[in-house]
Structure 1
Amino acid sequence: MSKPRRPAAGPVSHGPGPGARPGDGRAAFSAANSNTRILGPRSFVLPTPAARQAADAGAAPANLGLNSERQRHAMVQRLRAQGITDERVLAAMMAVPRHVFVDQGLASRAYDDAALPIGYGQTISQPWVVAHMIEAMVRGRTPQKVLEIGAGCGYQAAVLAQFIPVVHAVERVRGLYELASKHLKSLALPGRVHLSYGDGMAGLARHAPFEGIVVAAAGVKIPEVLFDQLAVGARLIAPEGSTHQRLMLIERTGPESWQRTELESVRFVPLRPGTQA
Protein backbone atom coordinates (compact mmCIF):
# COMPACT_ATOMS: atom_id res chain seq x y z
CA MET A 1 0.00 0.00 0.00
CA SER A 2 1.34 3.41 -0.90
CA LYS A 3 2.11 5.97 1.74
CA PRO A 4 -0.51 8.74 1.80
CA ARG A 5 2.27 11.30 1.57
CA ARG A 6 3.82 10.07 -1.67
CA PRO A 7 4.29 12.91 -4.20
CA ALA A 8 1.77 11.44 -6.63
CA ALA A 9 -0.93 12.44 -4.18
CA GLY A 10 0.18 16.06 -4.20
CA PRO A 11 -0.04 18.73 -6.87
CA VAL A 12 0.95 17.61 -10.35
CA SER A 13 2.03 19.96 -13.10
CA HIS A 14 2.31 18.50 -16.57
CA GLY A 15 4.96 19.64 -18.98
CA PRO A 16 4.16 20.33 -22.63
CA GLY A 17 3.21 17.40 -24.82
CA PRO A 18 5.81 15.06 -26.34
CA GLY A 19 7.61 15.52 -29.60
CA ALA A 20 9.81 18.62 -29.75
CA ARG A 21 12.77 20.53 -28.43
CA PRO A 22 13.22 22.03 -24.98
CA GLY A 23 12.49 25.72 -24.86
CA ASP A 24 10.24 25.98 -27.94
CA GLY A 25 6.89 25.32 -26.23
CA ARG A 26 6.86 21.58 -26.89
CA ALA A 27 8.44 18.76 -24.92
CA ALA A 28 11.61 17.10 -26.13
CA PHE A 29 11.90 13.35 -26.62
CA SER A 30 15.18 12.35 -25.01
CA ALA A 31 16.36 8.76 -25.04
CA ALA A 32 18.96 7.46 -22.63
CA ASN A 33 19.24 4.29 -24.70
CA SER A 34 18.87 5.60 -28.26
CA ASN A 35 20.58 7.93 -30.67
CA THR A 36 17.84 10.56 -30.45
CA ARG A 37 19.15 14.08 -30.89
CA ILE A 38 17.47 17.33 -29.89
CA LEU A 39 18.50 19.99 -32.38
CA GLY A 40 18.20 23.76 -32.28
CA PRO A 41 19.86 26.98 -33.44
CA ARG A 42 23.63 26.70 -33.25
CA SER A 43 25.50 29.09 -30.97
CA PHE A 44 29.27 29.40 -30.92
CA VAL A 45 30.43 30.25 -27.42
CA LEU A 46 34.01 29.58 -26.42
CA PRO A 47 34.51 27.77 -23.10
CA THR A 48 36.32 29.61 -20.35
CA PRO A 49 40.09 29.14 -19.95
CA ALA A 50 39.41 27.47 -16.60
CA ALA A 51 37.14 24.92 -18.24
CA ARG A 52 39.72 24.17 -20.94
CA GLN A 53 42.47 23.78 -18.36
CA ALA A 54 40.29 21.45 -16.26
CA ALA A 55 39.49 19.34 -19.30
CA ASP A 56 43.13 18.90 -20.26
CA ALA A 57 44.24 18.26 -16.68
CA GLY A 58 41.56 15.62 -16.12
CA ALA A 59 41.93 13.70 -19.37
CA ALA A 60 43.54 10.28 -19.14
CA PRO A 61 45.89 9.27 -21.96
CA ALA A 62 43.58 6.50 -23.23
CA ASN A 63 41.77 7.42 -26.48
CA LEU A 64 43.31 10.91 -26.45
CA GLY A 65 44.28 10.78 -30.10
CA LEU A 66 40.67 10.35 -31.20
CA ASN A 67 39.00 12.66 -28.73
CA SER A 68 40.40 16.15 -28.46
CA GLU A 69 39.42 19.29 -26.60
CA ARG A 70 37.87 20.47 -29.88
CA GLN A 71 35.34 17.63 -29.75
CA ARG A 72 34.37 18.47 -26.18
CA HIS A 73 34.01 22.08 -27.24
CA ALA A 74 31.70 21.03 -30.08
CA MET A 75 29.65 18.96 -27.63
CA VAL A 76 29.21 21.96 -25.33
CA GLN A 77 28.16 24.13 -28.30
CA ARG A 78 25.55 21.52 -29.18
CA LEU A 79 24.27 21.41 -25.58
CA ARG A 80 23.82 25.20 -25.66
CA ALA A 81 21.88 24.90 -28.89
CA GLN A 82 19.71 22.22 -27.30
CA GLY A 83 18.73 24.55 -24.45
CA ILE A 84 21.25 23.89 -21.65
CA THR A 85 21.97 27.30 -20.10
CA ASP A 86 23.50 26.65 -16.66
CA GLU A 87 27.16 27.67 -16.98
CA ARG A 88 28.18 25.34 -14.14
CA VAL A 89 26.74 22.37 -15.99
CA LEU A 90 28.28 23.39 -19.31
CA ALA A 91 31.72 23.89 -17.72
CA ALA A 92 31.44 20.51 -16.00
CA MET A 93 30.53 18.79 -19.28
CA MET A 94 33.55 20.47 -20.88
CA ALA A 95 35.85 19.44 -18.03
CA VAL A 96 35.11 15.70 -18.03
CA PRO A 97 36.71 13.67 -20.84
CA ARG A 98 33.82 11.41 -21.87
CA HIS A 99 36.13 9.22 -23.99
CA VAL A 100 37.75 7.94 -20.78
CA PHE A 101 34.42 6.35 -19.82
CA VAL A 102 33.70 4.45 -23.05
CA ASP A 103 35.25 1.36 -24.59
CA GLN A 104 38.33 1.95 -26.75
CA GLY A 105 36.42 0.68 -29.79
CA LEU A 106 33.79 3.41 -29.36
CA ALA A 107 36.26 6.24 -28.78
CA SER A 108 35.47 7.94 -32.07
CA ARG A 109 31.81 8.27 -30.98
CA ALA A 110 32.47 9.42 -27.43
CA TYR A 111 31.23 12.98 -28.04
CA ASP A 112 28.24 12.10 -30.21
CA ASP A 113 24.90 12.94 -28.63
CA ALA A 114 24.14 9.26 -28.24
CA ALA A 115 23.93 6.60 -25.57
CA LEU A 116 26.72 4.04 -25.86
CA PRO A 117 26.99 0.51 -24.44
CA ILE A 118 29.24 0.03 -21.41
CA GLY A 119 28.64 -3.69 -20.87
CA TYR A 120 26.33 -5.68 -18.58
CA GLY A 121 23.33 -4.56 -20.66
CA GLN A 122 23.82 -0.94 -19.58
CA THR A 123 24.63 2.31 -21.37
CA ILE A 124 26.29 5.65 -20.76
CA SER A 125 23.51 8.21 -21.27
CA GLN A 126 23.65 10.70 -24.11
CA PRO A 127 25.27 14.01 -23.11
CA TRP A 128 22.04 16.01 -23.43
CA VAL A 129 20.25 13.70 -21.00
CA VAL A 130 23.07 13.99 -18.45
CA ALA A 131 23.22 17.78 -18.72
CA HIS A 132 19.44 18.22 -18.70
CA MET A 133 18.89 16.08 -15.60
CA ILE A 134 21.67 17.79 -13.66
CA GLU A 135 20.48 21.25 -14.71
CA ALA A 136 16.92 20.50 -13.58
CA MET A 137 18.17 19.25 -10.21
CA VAL A 138 20.47 22.22 -9.45
CA ARG A 139 18.56 25.09 -11.07
CA GLY A 140 18.66 28.14 -8.79
CA ARG A 141 20.83 26.50 -6.13
CA THR A 142 24.19 24.82 -5.52
CA PRO A 143 23.72 21.55 -3.63
CA GLN A 144 26.54 20.57 -1.31
CA LYS A 145 25.75 16.85 -1.21
CA VAL A 146 23.93 14.79 -3.83
CA LEU A 147 23.11 11.15 -4.48
CA GLU A 148 23.25 9.36 -7.82
CA ILE A 149 21.42 6.05 -8.23
CA GLY A 150 22.90 3.96 -11.04
CA ALA A 151 26.51 5.10 -11.31
CA GLY A 152 27.20 2.93 -14.36
CA CYS A 153 30.69 3.69 -15.66
CA GLY A 154 31.01 6.78 -13.42
CA TYR A 155 30.57 9.52 -16.04
CA GLN A 156 27.62 11.38 -14.52
CA ALA A 157 29.19 11.24 -11.06
CA ALA A 158 32.35 12.79 -12.52
CA VAL A 159 30.31 15.61 -14.08
CA LEU A 160 28.48 16.26 -10.81
CA ALA A 161 31.76 16.36 -8.90
CA GLN A 162 33.03 19.27 -10.98
CA PHE A 163 30.93 21.73 -8.96
CA ILE A 164 29.28 19.76 -6.14
CA PRO A 165 31.56 19.15 -3.12
CA VAL A 166 30.21 15.71 -2.11
CA VAL A 167 28.76 13.18 -4.52
CA HIS A 168 27.53 9.77 -3.36
CA ALA A 169 26.89 7.25 -6.13
CA VAL A 170 25.44 3.75 -5.88
CA GLU A 171 25.90 0.97 -8.44
CA ARG A 172 24.27 -2.49 -8.16
CA VAL A 173 26.37 -4.33 -10.80
CA ARG A 174 29.74 -5.38 -9.39
CA GLY A 175 31.55 -5.14 -12.74
CA LEU A 176 30.29 -1.62 -13.35
CA TYR A 177 31.11 -0.58 -9.78
CA GLU A 178 34.71 -1.70 -10.36
CA LEU A 179 34.80 0.03 -13.77
CA ALA A 180 33.49 3.30 -12.31
CA SER A 181 36.03 3.08 -9.49
CA LYS A 182 38.85 2.74 -12.02
CA HIS A 183 37.61 5.66 -14.12
CA LEU A 184 37.16 7.99 -11.13
CA LYS A 185 40.62 7.13 -9.81
CA SER A 186 42.14 7.93 -13.20
CA LEU A 187 40.68 11.45 -12.91
CA ALA A 188 41.70 11.85 -9.25
CA LEU A 189 38.06 12.17 -8.18
CA PRO A 190 37.62 9.54 -5.41
CA GLY A 191 37.92 12.28 -2.75
CA ARG A 192 34.78 14.00 -4.07
CA VAL A 193 32.88 10.96 -5.32
CA HIS A 194 32.00 8.30 -2.75
CA LEU A 195 31.06 5.18 -4.69
CA SER A 196 29.06 2.38 -3.08
CA TYR A 197 28.22 -1.11 -4.32
CA GLY A 198 24.64 -1.86 -3.34
CA ASP A 199 20.92 -1.70 -4.04
CA GLY A 200 20.18 1.78 -5.35
CA MET A 201 16.46 1.32 -4.81
CA ALA A 202 17.17 1.53 -1.08
CA GLY A 203 19.01 4.82 -1.46
CA LEU A 204 21.81 5.57 1.00
CA ALA A 205 20.09 6.35 4.29
CA ARG A 206 23.30 6.55 6.33
CA HIS A 207 24.36 9.64 4.37
CA ALA A 208 20.93 11.28 4.04
CA PRO A 209 19.48 13.84 3.72
CA PHE A 210 20.67 14.81 0.25
CA GLU A 211 20.30 18.21 -1.40
CA GLY A 212 19.68 16.52 -4.72
CA ILE A 213 19.07 13.00 -6.04
CA VAL A 214 19.41 11.86 -9.66
CA VAL A 215 18.26 8.39 -10.73
CA ALA A 216 19.73 6.99 -13.94
CA ALA A 217 17.32 4.06 -14.41
CA ALA A 218 13.55 3.83 -14.71
CA GLY A 219 11.24 2.12 -12.23
CA VAL A 220 7.51 1.66 -12.69
CA LYS A 221 7.33 3.99 -9.69
CA ILE A 222 10.10 6.00 -8.09
CA PRO A 223 11.05 4.22 -4.83
CA GLU A 224 9.33 6.01 -1.94
CA VAL A 225 12.34 5.54 0.33
CA LEU A 226 14.17 8.11 -1.80
CA PHE A 227 11.59 10.77 -0.98
CA ASP A 228 12.45 10.55 2.70
CA GLN A 229 16.18 10.88 1.92
CA LEU A 230 15.63 14.20 0.15
CA ALA A 231 16.24 17.37 2.18
CA VAL A 232 13.46 19.94 2.42
CA GLY A 233 13.79 22.29 -0.54
CA ALA A 234 15.82 19.78 -2.56
CA ARG A 235 14.92 18.06 -5.82
CA LEU A 236 14.95 14.51 -7.13
CA ILE A 237 14.91 13.81 -10.85
CA ALA A 238 14.20 10.34 -12.21
CA PRO A 239 12.56 8.52 -15.11
CA GLU A 240 9.35 6.68 -14.24
CA GLY A 241 7.39 4.05 -16.13
CA SER A 242 7.94 0.81 -18.03
CA THR A 243 6.97 0.82 -21.72
CA HIS A 244 6.19 4.53 -21.67
CA GLN A 245 8.55 6.53 -19.46
CA ARG A 246 8.44 10.16 -18.36
CA LEU A 247 11.13 12.17 -16.64
CA MET A 248 9.79 13.30 -13.24
CA LEU A 249 11.02 16.17 -11.08
CA ILE A 250 10.13 15.84 -7.38
CA GLU A 251 10.71 18.76 -5.01
CA ARG A 252 10.35 18.34 -1.26
CA THR A 253 8.41 21.44 -0.21
CA GLY A 254 8.06 20.59 3.49
CA PRO A 255 8.62 17.83 6.08
CA GLU A 256 5.57 15.95 4.80
CA SER A 257 4.94 17.49 1.38
CA TRP A 258 6.34 17.04 -2.13
CA GLN A 259 5.57 18.60 -5.49
CA ARG A 260 5.70 16.49 -8.62
CA THR A 261 6.35 17.87 -12.13
CA GLU A 262 6.19 15.76 -15.28
CA LEU A 263 8.81 16.53 -17.92
CA GLU A 264 9.88 14.85 -21.19
CA SER A 265 9.30 11.39 -22.58
CA VAL A 266 12.47 9.34 -22.08
CA ARG A 267 13.82 5.84 -22.41
CA PHE A 268 16.13 4.39 -19.74
CA VAL A 269 17.30 0.96 -18.71
CA PRO A 270 15.08 -0.56 -15.98
CA LEU A 271 15.67 0.14 -12.30
CA ARG A 272 16.21 -3.22 -10.59
CA PRO A 273 16.42 -4.24 -6.91
CA GLY A 274 19.27 -6.02 -5.22
CA THR A 275 22.81 -6.46 -6.50
CA GLN A 276 24.44 -8.36 -9.35
CA ALA A 277 27.79 -10.03 -8.81
Structure 2
Amino acid sequence: MQNEDSPKCQMQRRKLVEAIQSKGIRDARVLTAIGRVPRHLFMPESLRTKAYMDNAFPIGNEQTISQPYTVAYQTWLLKVEPGMKVLEVGTGSAYQAAVLAQMGAEVYTIERQKRFYDRNKHFTYLQRFSNLHFCYGDGYNGWPETAPFDRILITAAPEKIPEVLVNQLLPGGLLVAPVGRPGMQRMVRLTKGTDDTITEEQFDHFAFVPMLPGIQNKG
Protein backbone atom coordinates (compact mmCIF):
# COMPACT_ATOMS: atom_id res chain seq x y z
CA MET A 1 0.00 0.00 0.00
CA GLN A 2 1.28 3.45 -0.97
CA ASN A 3 0.43 5.01 2.40
CA GLU A 4 1.18 2.11 4.74
CA ASP A 5 3.10 3.12 7.85
CA SER A 6 3.60 0.11 10.08
CA PRO A 7 4.57 0.07 13.77
CA LYS A 8 7.94 -1.31 12.66
CA CYS A 9 8.54 1.72 10.44
CA GLN A 10 7.52 4.04 13.26
CA MET A 11 9.98 2.36 15.61
CA GLN A 12 12.74 2.64 13.00
CA ARG A 13 11.99 6.36 12.64
CA ARG A 14 12.34 6.85 16.37
CA LYS A 15 15.77 5.23 16.21
CA LEU A 16 16.67 7.40 13.22
CA VAL A 17 15.70 10.53 15.15
CA GLU A 18 17.91 9.40 18.03
CA ALA A 19 20.81 8.90 15.61
CA ILE A 20 20.35 12.36 14.11
CA GLN A 21 20.15 13.87 17.57
CA SER A 22 23.40 12.15 18.54
CA LYS A 23 25.07 13.93 15.59
CA GLY A 24 24.26 17.33 17.05
CA ILE A 25 20.81 18.29 15.79
CA ARG A 26 18.91 19.43 18.87
CA ASP A 27 16.02 21.40 17.34
CA ALA A 28 12.95 19.64 18.73
CA ARG A 29 10.65 20.80 15.93
CA VAL A 30 13.00 19.48 13.25
CA LEU A 31 13.37 16.15 15.03
CA THR A 32 9.62 15.84 15.52
CA ALA A 33 8.99 16.41 11.81
CA ILE A 34 11.61 13.83 10.82
CA GLY A 35 9.93 11.43 13.23
CA ARG A 36 6.51 11.95 11.68
CA VAL A 37 7.24 11.83 7.93
CA PRO A 38 7.33 8.21 6.63
CA ARG A 39 10.51 8.32 4.55
CA HIS A 40 9.96 4.84 3.12
CA LEU A 41 6.99 6.13 1.11
CA PHE A 42 9.33 8.47 -0.78
CA MET A 43 11.71 5.73 -1.89
CA PRO A 44 11.68 3.15 -4.67
CA GLU A 45 9.99 -0.10 -3.62
CA SER A 46 13.27 -2.01 -3.88
CA LEU A 47 14.95 0.27 -1.30
CA ARG A 48 12.18 0.69 1.26
CA THR A 49 13.69 -1.74 3.76
CA LYS A 50 16.68 0.65 3.96
CA ALA A 51 14.59 3.80 4.37
CA TYR A 52 15.56 4.46 7.97
CA MET A 53 19.28 4.11 7.51
CA ASP A 54 20.92 7.51 7.75
CA ASN A 55 22.07 7.43 4.13
CA ALA A 56 21.22 8.96 0.76
CA PHE A 57 19.79 6.60 -1.86
CA PRO A 58 19.24 6.82 -5.63
CA ILE A 59 15.71 7.57 -6.81
CA GLY A 60 16.39 7.53 -10.57
CA ASN A 61 17.41 10.09 -13.20
CA GLU A 62 20.77 10.58 -11.44
CA GLN A 63 18.99 12.01 -8.38
CA THR A 64 19.02 10.95 -4.74
CA ILE A 65 16.82 11.20 -1.69
CA SER A 66 19.01 13.08 0.77
CA GLN A 67 20.47 11.58 3.91
CA PRO A 68 18.06 12.28 6.81
CA TYR A 69 20.85 14.00 8.76
CA THR A 70 21.40 16.34 5.80
CA VAL A 71 17.68 17.12 5.63
CA ALA A 72 17.66 17.83 9.35
CA TYR A 73 20.82 19.95 9.09
CA GLN A 74 19.49 22.16 6.28
CA THR A 75 16.14 22.51 8.02
CA TRP A 76 17.84 23.47 11.28
CA LEU A 77 19.88 26.17 9.51
CA LEU A 78 16.73 27.51 7.85
CA LYS A 79 15.07 28.36 11.20
CA VAL A 80 11.57 27.66 9.91
CA GLU A 81 8.54 28.80 11.88
CA PRO A 82 4.88 27.88 11.25
CA GLY A 83 3.27 30.05 8.60
CA MET A 84 6.53 31.12 7.00
CA LYS A 85 6.58 31.18 3.21
CA VAL A 86 9.38 28.86 2.07
CA LEU A 87 10.72 28.33 -1.45
CA GLU A 88 12.44 24.99 -2.03
CA VAL A 89 14.52 24.65 -5.20
CA GLY A 90 14.75 20.98 -6.20
CA THR A 91 11.74 18.95 -5.09
CA GLY A 92 13.21 15.57 -6.06
CA SER A 93 11.57 12.87 -3.94
CA ALA A 94 9.63 15.61 -2.03
CA TYR A 95 10.84 14.24 1.32
CA GLN A 96 12.43 17.56 2.31
CA ALA A 97 9.32 19.43 1.20
CA ALA A 98 7.16 17.14 3.35
CA VAL A 99 9.35 17.79 6.40
CA LEU A 100 8.98 21.55 5.90
CA ALA A 101 5.22 21.20 5.40
CA GLN A 102 5.00 19.03 8.53
CA MET A 103 6.61 21.93 10.43
CA GLY A 104 3.79 24.21 9.35
CA ALA A 105 5.57 26.22 6.65
CA GLU A 106 3.78 27.31 3.48
CA VAL A 107 6.03 25.44 1.04
CA TYR A 108 6.50 26.34 -2.63
CA THR A 109 8.72 23.73 -4.26
CA ILE A 110 10.18 23.73 -7.78
CA GLU A 111 11.26 20.67 -9.77
CA ARG A 112 12.98 20.75 -13.18
CA GLN A 113 12.36 17.07 -14.04
CA LYS A 114 8.84 16.34 -15.29
CA ARG A 115 9.00 12.77 -14.00
CA PHE A 116 9.37 13.84 -10.37
CA TYR A 117 6.92 16.72 -10.70
CA ASP A 118 4.21 14.42 -12.09
CA ARG A 119 4.88 11.77 -9.45
CA ASN A 120 4.64 14.23 -6.59
CA LYS A 121 1.47 15.88 -7.88
CA HIS A 122 -0.23 12.45 -7.74
CA PHE A 123 1.47 11.20 -4.55
CA THR A 124 -1.43 10.41 -2.20
CA TYR A 125 0.52 10.99 1.01
CA LEU A 126 1.45 14.54 -0.02
CA GLN A 127 -2.16 15.47 -0.69
CA ARG A 128 -2.75 15.76 3.05
CA PHE A 129 -0.68 18.97 3.04
CA SER A 130 -2.74 21.95 1.87
CA ASN A 131 0.37 24.05 2.57
CA LEU A 132 2.47 22.30 -0.11
CA HIS A 133 2.57 23.78 -3.63
CA PHE A 134 4.37 22.32 -6.66
CA CYS A 135 5.92 23.98 -9.70
CA TYR A 136 7.48 22.42 -12.79
CA GLY A 137 10.18 24.84 -13.84
CA ASP A 138 13.76 26.06 -13.79
CA GLY A 139 14.93 26.62 -10.24
CA TYR A 140 17.41 29.24 -11.41
CA ASN A 141 14.41 31.48 -12.07
CA GLY A 142 12.83 30.88 -8.69
CA TRP A 143 9.06 31.31 -8.50
CA PRO A 144 8.47 35.01 -9.22
CA GLU A 145 4.66 34.70 -9.24
CA THR A 146 4.66 33.71 -5.56
CA ALA A 147 7.70 35.68 -4.35
CA PRO A 148 8.91 37.08 -2.03
CA PHE A 149 9.76 34.40 0.53
CA ASP A 150 10.72 34.33 4.21
CA ARG A 151 13.05 31.40 3.56
CA ILE A 152 14.68 29.79 0.53
CA LEU A 153 16.23 26.31 0.55
CA ILE A 154 18.29 24.95 -2.34
CA THR A 155 18.62 21.15 -2.31
CA ALA A 156 21.11 20.83 -5.18
CA ALA A 157 24.50 22.48 -5.42
CA PRO A 158 25.07 25.65 -7.46
CA GLU A 159 28.64 26.83 -7.89
CA LYS A 160 27.30 30.28 -7.03
CA ILE A 161 23.96 31.20 -5.49
CA PRO A 162 21.75 32.70 -8.23
CA GLU A 163 21.14 36.41 -7.70
CA VAL A 164 17.54 35.93 -8.87
CA LEU A 165 16.87 33.77 -5.81
CA VAL A 166 18.48 36.25 -3.43
CA ASN A 167 16.24 38.94 -4.93
CA GLN A 168 13.17 36.81 -4.13
CA LEU A 169 14.08 36.74 -0.43
CA LEU A 170 12.31 39.11 1.94
CA PRO A 171 14.36 41.50 4.10
CA GLY A 172 15.20 39.58 7.25
CA GLY A 173 14.97 36.30 5.34
CA LEU A 174 17.38 33.37 5.18
CA LEU A 175 18.65 31.31 2.25
CA VAL A 176 20.41 27.97 2.78
CA ALA A 177 22.30 26.14 0.04
CA PRO A 178 25.24 23.77 -0.54
CA VAL A 179 27.64 25.79 -2.69
CA GLY A 180 30.63 24.59 -4.68
CA ARG A 181 31.89 22.40 -7.46
CA PRO A 182 30.71 18.79 -7.96
CA GLY A 183 31.92 16.34 -5.34
CA MET A 184 32.05 18.48 -2.24
CA GLN A 185 30.28 21.66 -1.22
CA ARG A 186 30.13 23.94 1.78
CA MET A 187 26.74 24.61 3.34
CA VAL A 188 26.10 28.34 3.22
CA ARG A 189 23.48 30.52 4.87
CA LEU A 190 22.70 34.00 3.60
CA THR A 191 20.83 36.53 5.73
CA LYS A 192 19.24 39.50 3.98
CA GLY A 193 19.25 42.61 6.10
CA THR A 194 16.42 45.13 6.27
CA ASP A 195 18.54 47.34 3.99
CA ASP A 196 19.01 44.42 1.53
CA THR A 197 22.63 43.83 2.56
CA ILE A 198 23.68 40.16 2.53
CA THR A 199 25.58 38.41 5.32
CA GLU A 200 27.09 34.99 4.57
CA GLU A 201 27.85 32.20 7.03
CA GLN A 202 29.64 28.97 6.15
CA PHE A 203 29.05 25.62 7.80
CA ASP A 204 29.97 21.96 7.22
CA HIS A 205 30.93 20.23 3.97
CA PHE A 206 28.43 18.05 2.10
CA ALA A 207 28.15 16.30 -1.26
CA PHE A 208 25.08 17.16 -3.35
CA VAL A 209 24.11 16.60 -6.96
CA PRO A 210 24.76 19.75 -9.04
CA MET A 211 22.06 22.33 -9.56
CA LEU A 212 21.29 22.38 -13.29
CA PRO A 213 19.53 25.04 -15.37
CA GLY A 214 16.51 24.51 -17.58
CA ILE A 215 13.84 21.81 -17.47
CA GLN A 216 13.80 18.15 -18.44
CA ASN A 217 10.78 16.55 -20.05
CA LYS A 218 11.92 12.94 -20.45
CA GLY A 219 10.98 10.31 -17.90
Distance of 2:30 and 2:105 partners within structure 1: 14
Kept in 2: contact 1:67–1:107 (CA 8 A): no
| 1:246 aligned onto 2:186 | yes
| Match of residue 43 from structure 2 | 102
Kept in 2: contact 1:154–1:180 (CA 8 A): yes
Q: SS in structure 2 opposite 1:158?
A: helix
Kept in 2: contact 1:79–1:128 (CA 8 A): yes
1:82-93 equivalent positions in 2, closer than 5 A: 82-93=23-34
Distance of 1:143 and 1:239 partners within structure 2: 25
Distance of 2:177 and 2:27 partners within structure 1: 19
Kept in 2: contact 1:66–1:107 (CA 8 A): no
Q: SS in structure 1 opposite 2:35?
A: helix
Amino acid across the alignment from 1:110: A
Amino acid across the alignment from 2:186: R
| 1:75 aligned onto 2:16 | yes
Kept in 1: contact 2:89–2:139 (CA 8 A): yes
TM superposition shift of 1:237? 0.3
| Match of residue 176 from structure 1 | 116
| 1:269 aligned onto 2:212 | no
How much identity, in percent, do the aligned residues show? 39
Distance 1:81 1:130, change over 3 A: same
Kept in 1: contact 2:120–2:126 (CA 8 A): no
Distance of 2:129 and 2:188 partners within structure 1: 29
| 1:111 aligned onto 2:52 | yes
Q: How many positions carry a matched residue from both structures?
A: 215
Distance of 2:6 and 2:28 partners within structure 1: 27
Give a deviation string over 1:112-145, Cα, whole Å, max 9, x none. 1100111111000000000110111116x55511
Distance 1:238 1:213, change over 3 A: same
Instruction: Identify which of structures 1 and 2 has the higher relative contact order when contacts are C-alpha pairs closer than 8 Å and 6+ apart.
Output: 1
Distance of 1:160 and 1:119 partners within structure 2: 23
Task: State TM-score, norm by structure 1.
Answer: 0.74
Kept in 2: contact 1:67–1:108 (CA 8 A): no
| Match of residue 151 from structure 2 | 212
Distance of 1:209 and 1:159 partners within structure 2: 21
TM superposition shift of 1:218? 0.5
Instruction: State the superposition RMSD in angstroms.
Output: 1.7
Q: SS in structure 1 opposite 2:104?
A: coil
| Match of residue 120 from structure 1 | 61
| Match of residue 203 from structure 1 | 142
Structure 2 portions without partners, runs of 5+: none
TM superposition shift of 1:68? 1.5
| 1:60 aligned onto 2:40 | no
Distance 1:66 1:178, change over 3 A: farther
| Match of residue 125 from structure 2 | 186
Runs of at least 4 residues of structure 1 off by over 4 A?
64-67
